[in-house]
Amino acid sequence: MHSRMTTSKTFISILHHIPIRLLGSRNGININNHSAVYTAKNERFFVQTATLSHLDRMVDFLVNVFIEKEPLARAMHLRHDEAVDLLRYTARRCIPFGLSCIVNEMHSDEIVAVRLFGVAQRDDPPEQLPIGLSKNAQRIADFLNATKRDFWNQVERDVRRVITREITSVSDKHMRKGIATFLVSHLLDSDNIARLNVQG
């Protein structure tokens, strides 16, 4: 799996490989094809496969939670308003692959976590980024695209298509409950691996 930008405690990890683990039932987790109920510390969380109907809420969460603490965004002094178009572009690109997730509190529907996973191919054309990105947002996008190009230079030539772990962000008050760990492998079952025809 190719990782471009990811955070559990809003940290960044570039080109970090994690083995795909097949998903099954585990203590505290009830799973079907499109949703799961995750239980931790006597709290229940509803994990859904994200759709474009979730887009606005996911972007709003990421602007206010992820960008606030993500090291690369902080180093670049990226403002919230500068991040919106880049995050919306990333979410729109990832969601159709069926691997992105939104996590809500069961009792309030408050979003507590968002995960964006996508798929990349070796022969993908250069990404068409949104017009009018700020200088800071453009520099971040260029940096992430450079890591993607370097990834393909490093792996074997027969690796043609991989899952990309773009963003995983959990709100501060729900840290240390295992949500980010659960999201590492959620939906990475044999059916999805076969459906997406990925090598890692």
Sign for the pseudo-dihedral over CA of 32, 34, 40, 43: negative
pLDDT at res. 16? 31
Please give the share of the chain, as a percent, with pLDDT higher than 90. Answer: 62
pLDDT in tens, 50-90: 999 999 999 999 999 999 889 989 888 899 999 999 999 99
What size, in residues, is the chain? 200
Give me the helices (H) in 95-189, please: 135-154, 179-185
Instruction: Give the residue from 30, 39, 7 showing the smallest Cα distance to 105.
Output: 39
pLDDT in tens, 85-118: 999 999 999 999 999 999 999 999 899 999 999 9
pTM: 0.82
pLDDT at res. 126? 77
Instruction: Give the residue from 97, 95, 113, 58 showing the smallest Cα distance to 196.
Output: 97
β-partners of residue 47 are 36, 103
Cα 152 from Cα 6, distance rounded (Å): 19
Instruction: Give the residue from 166, 56, 167, 47 showing the smallest Cα distance to 112.
Output: 47
